[in-house]
Amino acid sequence: MAGPWDGIDEVAAVAETGSFVGAARRLDVSVSHISRAVARCEDRLQVQLFARTTRSVRVTDTGRLLVEQFQRLIAEREEAFAMIEANGAPQGALRVTCSIALGERFVAPVLRSFAQKYPSLTVELDLSNRVVDLISEGYDLAIRTGALTDTRLLRRQICTRHVTICAAPAYLSRRGIPGSIADLDRHDCLVGSTRIWQFAVDGALQSYRPVPRWQCNSGMAIAEAAIAGMGVCHLPTFYLREALASGQLVQLLQLHHPPAEPVWAVYPQRRHLLPKVRRVVDLLATNLGDGL
């Protein structure tokens, strides 16, 4: 009687090597063993995993979806063994998603260091401003800011992110300095991917929807527009730190600066005990703990 794991390794090996012969070599078994295992798996699932000809083996559309799941199952099984056999050393594949700017500036260097430390680990960092479904798309970890709503996920705060509102001295000399949030109605606003600006007023957050004079989903492009004197911007401080220090930009409405936002490491509940996830979150918290 076939067990629940029967055929999973064989199917994955055929898909990865492109042939039954290649799979047999990889797993050190006979070609007939591979053929029987794949046939049993297809029969049990009632689907065709491979389209076979005398010259090639091609994964079907249905097979491709199952192969991706099988590969994750195999990786998780090996990681579970590693927790016991190798003192929990991270190995296998680590898939992380993060927003582009945060990832390029802060997360990528940490993950690069992590990969160099653990040679049995492969790392995929997907930089996207899209909110990825970690579970359905097979990610181990996401780095996110602000409010979190997915109850299927665990989270750990790894640092904070500060936001600054500012403009160039040349712009302020032409248009004046806003003394209140309402004064922004009379200013040119430079708007990035965050369409609602948050301010602190009497201990609470107040939202303001700017009318864009210049709009772009790149924080760096917005910062450059502000330095060029095009208007007022409201951005994470890491985009602005050098320009503020050099005097190219001037902070505004300092009494209404919002509190720092938490930056979270977010991961599916079933993955938080894996060494690769636990240790990379620790490393991110250590390296980013001073805030962004």
Q: Per-block average pLDDT, block size 10, for the chain (292 residues)?
A: 74 90 91 93 91 86 88 76 62 90 94 93 91 84 87 90 96 96 97 93 93 93 97 96 97 93 88 80 91 78
Last residue of a domain, one of 68, 103, 118: 68
Q: How far is the C-alpha of 169 from the C-alpha of 177, rounded, in Å?
A: 9
Query: Are 171 and 247 in the same domain?
Result: yes
Return the pLDDT at 223: 97
Side by side, the strands of the sheet bearing 163-167 are 212-215, 189-191, 232-236, 163-167, 250-251
Domain assignment of residue 1, yes or no: no
- Residue 241: phi and psi, rounded to 5, are -55, -45
Query: Are 152 and 110 in the same domain?
Result: yes
CATH number at residue 211: 3.40.190.10
Secondary structure (H, E, C), the chain: CCCCCCCHHHHHHHHHHCCHHHHHHHHCCCHHHHHHHHHHHHHHHCCCCEEECCCCEEECHHHHHHHHHHHHHHHHHHHHHHHHHCCCCCCEEEEEEECHHHHHHHHHHHHHHHHHHCCCEEEEEEECCCCCCHHHHCCCEEEEECCCCCCCEEEEEEEEECEEEEECHHHHHHHCCCCCCHHHHHCCEEECCCCCEEEEECCEEEEECCCEEEECCCHHHHHHHHHCCCCEEEEEHHHCHHHHHHCCCEECCHHHCCCCEEEEEEEEHHHCCCHHHHHHHHHHHHHHCCCC
Return the pLDDT at 53: 83
Domain assignment of residue 52, yes or no: yes
Query: Are 52 and 169 in the same domain?
Result: no
Predicted structure pTM score: 0.70
Token pair, residue 274, equals 């894996």
Domain assignment of residue 126, yes or no: yes
- For residues 215 and 231, the answer to whether their CB atoms sit within 8 Å is no
Domain assignment of residue 86, yes or no: no
Instruction: Please count the structural domains in the chain.
Output: 3
Query: Are 145 and 283 in the same domain?
Result: yes
Q: Structural domain of residue 145, as residue ranges?
A: 92-160+261-288
Query: Are 279 and 200 in the same domain?
Result: no
Return the pLDDT at 255: 93
Last residue of a domain, one of 32, 52, 68: 68
Q: How far is the C-alpha of 257 from the C-alpha of 165, rounded, in Å?
A: 8
Query: Are 242 and 265 in the same domain?
Result: no
Query: Are 100 and 231 in the same domain?
Result: no
Domain assignment of residue 176, yes or no: yes
Return the pLDDT at 251: 97
Domain assignment of residue 179, yes or no: yes
Domain assignment of residue 3, yes or no: no
Query: Are 202 and 272 in the same domain?
Result: no
Return the pLDDT at 88: 64
Query: Are 277 and 194 in the same domain?
Result: no
CATH number at residue 44: 1.10.10.10
Query: Are 231 and 174 in the same domain?
Result: yes
Return the pLDDT at 146: 78
Return the pLDDT at 56: 82
Query: Are 221 and 274 in the same domain?
Result: no
Query: Are 107 and 239 in the same domain?
Result: no
Return the pLDDT at 129: 85
Domain assignment of residue 78, yes or no: no
